[in-house]
């Protein structure tokens, strides 16, 4: 790379990191800078106020980077197709890189941005501003931090400036999480057969899990939610319970924040780390949550191949050639290339043993979310809705939710359930005419549609009320508004309210009149019992206080149904044979189950034994499911089924060296440094509403939570504004050196809560409130970067920050300074690669200013970050 090209690339790094837009060969500086007020409340929750959406994004990007820079940086490594380079060349990383590199090569993100900026055909200017600001805020923190304290990425070269395209690529990956993203290894594994008809496709375990799943919910995710109307609450105001079940580690953690542009947007809640908008939360008039939907997000097309040419297929009697693309990624061992195949429907996918590529047949998919560029504008519009009616209008008009339902309640006391997610347009008539007979049972059982790909009449078509072709319009999607309650716990829409079942919708959306999960059933029972005052708590109807108690009651509905019968058959024959033929004494198990309190509290003894019994397949019922009594059937243990005793024996065998009557809090924990925090909650297989899933370790128990209850919010929309309780179970920061690494985890362990702090009055009452301003001015005057009065230029400027030109020294953008300095010790190419990866050389202008000197590596020993503040308080930040 020439010196001028390198200098130009480094300049682009600085400009992009500063939040400037790179167009053609020049950087366009907007007429104002970024400025955001951050009020850090207890538990490190940032309340961010800004004058516009760009500055709001800057504040969000800066605050999230303060707390979780490693998570965001790793997310960007993924969408840059560099996991193999930095994290190892195992098959999952290579497959991920090939998939994301193909998206880069296909300019997927660029295509999302093309079109009129109306929020329907392309993202709006406000959303783009917020993305731009988020990028600038993240990069500004990367400058200001000087030393990253999180050991997960401290000193790692993969922590680099990010660009707006990085963010849009990450956005696209979220959209296809339940579709082509879930099938990524099947897309990469797709290889045509040889001339003799043989091929050896790579395994595709993630794609196989999608194919064999009973519904379209993304793996590893779940949720509960209640929307409570005027007839369901003690006050008559609307109330919401939000309880998403997401991973406790990694890029899919939630992050609490409050975002406000006065007069335009004011929402408190949570977003996934790295996202600039609230996804679950409330404003002053309405609150909403999401639960994972059962609908499928893609359809299969069975291709009839041209004889003798396995990469051509017949369509209306004419041959069409597949498009072959060779995709190459870099690994420490060298480059890896794969040739991937596309059709006019979408990519060819192979799932060995299920969807194979033979000399006569192949399979492609249409991903309904692959072109979904509406979601960020949709969440922005949700945050501005003032009622259930307005929210419903937003859903109808925008159709943006990628793979979730929405449950909401408003101040007027109305509750809403809707699966208005993006669903392929597989109507009953299309399914009857276009799904070949061998695949009709697959569609009936799981909602997976395999359409005849040889006929244009079997294309997805368009509903007249759909925002784009190929998806179901609002009239074909389930919606329910009630004055008492709606609920969902990841089963389909059918029993959002059991007295008003939703029926008659296309099978691709979900199943009807089928058995519900124990968690769904308990969720409805809890609401009904509270409304009747039959749950042992005072009064009738919900308050935020008793809603919290109900949510964290930790009932195990499976135990309530069968424990007594299980103990009887256990005590009648206190010996059993495991599935591998070993004989087990059940005496201690019988006693532990008899003494169990039927809950998954910290002090519950024997809860883990029942969980393992359920996981071993022990919940076998004697009565059949009755669609006219869906909440109470099945319910009777099949006491004569020998598999029940085998399951109990397997559970006892698995728990060897762990006392069967141990306290749950002693065997189910979450590590935070040297501390093991006891965790309540349990598995959905046992019928626990408060879902917690930990990894099992022989002789120890469950020393690490994998996923489950994550962000928990109970909010009431009263006349004096929102009030209630909330907690982020795994805490605000993944950095073990952060004061907010474990505080909310301890809070959750004790069933505590943080209060809703939506108004300034509520916020100012927080004794731990700390306020600081972040911002960046990038209007240039006489070559000097301007600074706000409260953030003057530093007294000492490092030599690397000085350019020599026209006879005088001049200060350049500090981000450019830091990353040009690093080049001295890492390699000059590092700078160019950080942001200009996949950027054509035409984007680098030959007239871009050159860096005249290579500076020495700066010594940051005098610029250590301030010592950690007491828990709950943030040190005053030094913001340039």
Which are the catalytic amino acids? 223
End-to-end CA separation in angstroms for the chain: 33
Going by DSSP bridges, is the β-strand pair 298-306/450-452 parallel, antiparallel, or unpaired? parallel
Closest CA to 62 of 145, 151, 127: 145
Nearest CA to 570 out of 639, 491, 467 is that of: 639
3-class SS at 773?
strand
Helix axes 544-551, 518-532, angle to 10 degrees: 150
Q: What angle do CA 698, 699, 701 make, to 5 degrees?
A: 75
- Interatomic CA distance for residues 288 and 407, integer angstroms: 6
Are 265 and 274 in contact by the 8 Å Cβ rule? The answer is no
Pairwise CA distance, residues 273 & 738, whole Å: 16
Query: Cα separation of 596 and 135, whole Å?
Result: 52
- Exposure string of 275-303, with b = 16+ CB inside 10 Å and e = fewer, is bbbbbbbbbebbbbbbbbbbbbbbbbbbb
730-to-68, 247, 252, 712, 715 alpha-carbon distances in Å: 13, 10, 12, 11, 20
Burial class of residue 367, CB neighbours in 10 A (0-12, 13-18, 19+) = buried
Sign of the CA dihedral with 595 first, then 600, 601, and 606 last: positive
Alpha helix ranges (H) inside 176-256: 184-189, 205-212
| Integer Cα distance of 425 and 221 in angstroms | 24
Q: Could you count the other beta carbons within 10 Å of the beta carbon of residue 539? A: 10
Please count the other Cβ atoms lying within 10 Å of the Cβ belonging to residue 492: 26
Cis amide leading into 162 (omega within 30): no
Cα–Cα dist 692/710, whole Å = 9
- DSSP class of residue 685 equals G
> What distance in Å separates the CA atoms of residue 708 and residue 689, rounded to the nearest whole number?
10
DSSP 3-state assignment of 146?
coil
- Strand runs (DSSP E) across 669-769, as ranges? 669-672, 675-678, 692-697, 701-709, 711-718, 721-728, 754-755
| DSSP label of 720 | T
- SS3 per-residue string spanning 534-592: CCCCCCCCECHHHHHHHHCCCEEHHHHHHHHHHHHHHHHCCEEECCCCCEEECHHHHHH
Q: How far apart are CA 190 and CA 184, in angstroms?
A: 10
Contact in structure between 22 and 837 (CB atoms under 8 Å) = no
Q: What letters, b where the CB count within 10 A reaches 16 and e where it falls short, cover 622-654?
A: eeeeeeeebeebbbebbeeeeebbbbbbbbbbb
3-state secondary structure of 423: coil
Q: State the pairing for strand pair 254-261/46-50.
A: parallel
Phi and psi angles of residue 798, each rounded to the nearest 5 degrees, phi first: -65, 145
């Amino acid at each position: 790379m020439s010196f001028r090209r390198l200098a130009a690339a480094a300049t682009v790094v600085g400009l992009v990191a500063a939040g400037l837009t790179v167009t053609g060969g020049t950087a366009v500086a907007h007429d104002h800078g970024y400025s955001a007020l951050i009020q850090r409340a207890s538990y490190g929750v940032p309340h961010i106020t800004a004058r516009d959406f760009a500055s709001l994004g800057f504040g969000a990007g800066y605050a999230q980077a303060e707390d979780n820079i490693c998570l965001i940086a790793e997310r960007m490594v993924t969408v840059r197709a560099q996991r193999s380079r930095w994290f190892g060349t195992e098959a999952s990383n290579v497959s991920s890189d090939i998939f994301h590199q193909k998206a880069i090569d296909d300019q997927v993100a660029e295509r999302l941005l093309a079109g009129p900026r109306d929020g329907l055909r392309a993202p709006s200017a406000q959303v783009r501003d917020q993305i731009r600001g988020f990028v600038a805020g993240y990069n500004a923190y990367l400058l200001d931090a000087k030393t990253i304290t999180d050991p997960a990425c401290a000193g790692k070269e993969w922590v680099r400036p990010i660009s707006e395209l990085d963010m849009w690529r990450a956005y696209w990956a979220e959209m296809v999480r339940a579709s082509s993203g879930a099938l990524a290894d099947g897309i990469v594994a797709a290889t045509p057969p040889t001339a003799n008809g043989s091929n050896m496709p790579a395994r595709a375990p993630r794609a196989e899990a999608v194919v064999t799943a009973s519904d379209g919910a993304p793996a590893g995710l779940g949720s509960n939610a209640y929307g409570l109307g005027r007839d369901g609450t003690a006050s008559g105001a609307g109330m919401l319970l939000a309880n998403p079940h997401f991973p406790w580690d990694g890029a899919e953690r939630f992050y609490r924040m409050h975002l406000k542009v006065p007069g335009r947007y004011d929402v408190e809640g949570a977003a996934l780390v790295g996202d600039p908008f609230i996804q679950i939360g409330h404003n002053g008039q309405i609150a909403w949550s999401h639960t994972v939907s059962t609908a499928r997000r893609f359809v299969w097309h069975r291709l009839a191949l041209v004889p003798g040419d396995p990469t051509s297929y017949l369509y209306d009697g004419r041959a069409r050639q597949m498009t072959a693309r060779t995709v190459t990624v870099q690994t420490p061992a060298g480059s890896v290339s794969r040739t991937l195949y596309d059709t006019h429907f979408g990519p060819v996918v192979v799932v060995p043993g299920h969807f194979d590529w033979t000399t006569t047949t192949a399979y492609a998919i249409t991903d309904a979310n692959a072109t979904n560029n509406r979601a960020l504008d949709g969440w922005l519009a949700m945050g501005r809705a003032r009622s259930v009616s307005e929210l419903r209008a937003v859903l109808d008009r925008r159709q943006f939710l990628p793979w979730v339902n929405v449950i909401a309640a408003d101040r007027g006391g109305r509750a809403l359930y809707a699966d208005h997610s993006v669903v392929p347009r597989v109507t009953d008539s299309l399914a009857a005419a276009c799904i070949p007979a061998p695949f009709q049972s697959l569609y009936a059982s799981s909602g997976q549609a395999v359409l005849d790909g040889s006929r244009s009449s079997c294309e997805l078509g368009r509903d007249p009320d759909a925002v784009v072709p190929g998806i179901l319009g609002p009239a074909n999607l389930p919606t329910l508004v009630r004055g008492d309650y709606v609920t969902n716990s990841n089963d389909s829409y059918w029993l959002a309210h059991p007295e008003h079942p939703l029926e008659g919708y296309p099978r691709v959306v979900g199943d009807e009149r089928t058995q519900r999960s124990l968690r769904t059933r308990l969720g409805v029972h809890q609401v009904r019992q509270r409304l009747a005052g039959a749950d042992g708590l005072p009064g009738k109807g919900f308050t935020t206080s008793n809603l919290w108690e109900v949510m964290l009651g930790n009932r195990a509905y499976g135990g309530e149904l069968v424990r007594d019968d299980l103990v009887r058959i256990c005590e009648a024959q206190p010996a059993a044979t495991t599935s591998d033929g070993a004989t087990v004494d059940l005496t201690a198990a019988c006693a532990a189950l008899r003494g169990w309190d039927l809950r998954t509290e910290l002090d519950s003894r024997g809860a883990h034994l029942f969980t393992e019994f359920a996981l071993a397949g022990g919940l076998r019922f004697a009565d059949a499911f009755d669609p006219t009594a869906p909440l109470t059937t099945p319910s009777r243990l099949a006491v004569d089924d020998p598999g029940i005793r085998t399951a109990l024996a397997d559970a006892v065998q698995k728990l060897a060296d762990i006392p069967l009557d141990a306290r749950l809090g002693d065997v189910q924990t979450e590590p935070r440094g040297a501390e093991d925090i006891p965790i309540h909650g349990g598995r959905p297989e046992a019928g626990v509403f408060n879902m917690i899933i930990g990894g099992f370790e022989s002789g120890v128990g469950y020393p690490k939570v994998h996923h489950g209850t994550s962000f928990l919010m109970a909010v009431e929309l009263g006349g004096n504004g929102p009030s209630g309780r909330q907690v982020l179970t795994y805490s605000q920061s993944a950095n073990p050196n952060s004061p907010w690494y474990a505080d909310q985890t301890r809070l959750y362990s004790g069933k505590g809560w943080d209060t809703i702090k939506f108004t300034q009055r509520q916020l100012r009452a927080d004794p731990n409130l700390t306020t600081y301003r972040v911002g960046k001015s990038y209007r240039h005057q006489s070559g000097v970067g301007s600074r706000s009065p409260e953030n003057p230029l530093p007294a000492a400027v490092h030599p690397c920050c000085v350019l020599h030109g026209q006879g005088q020294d001049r200060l350049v953008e500090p981000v450019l300074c830091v990353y040009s300095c690093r080049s001295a010790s890492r390699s000059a190419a590092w700078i160019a690669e950080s942001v200009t990866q996949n950027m054509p050389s035409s984007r680098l202008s030959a007239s871009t200013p050159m860096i005249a000197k290579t500076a020495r590596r700066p010594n940051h020993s005098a610029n250590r970050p301030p010592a950690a503040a007491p828990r709950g308080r943030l040190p005053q930040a030094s913001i340039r």
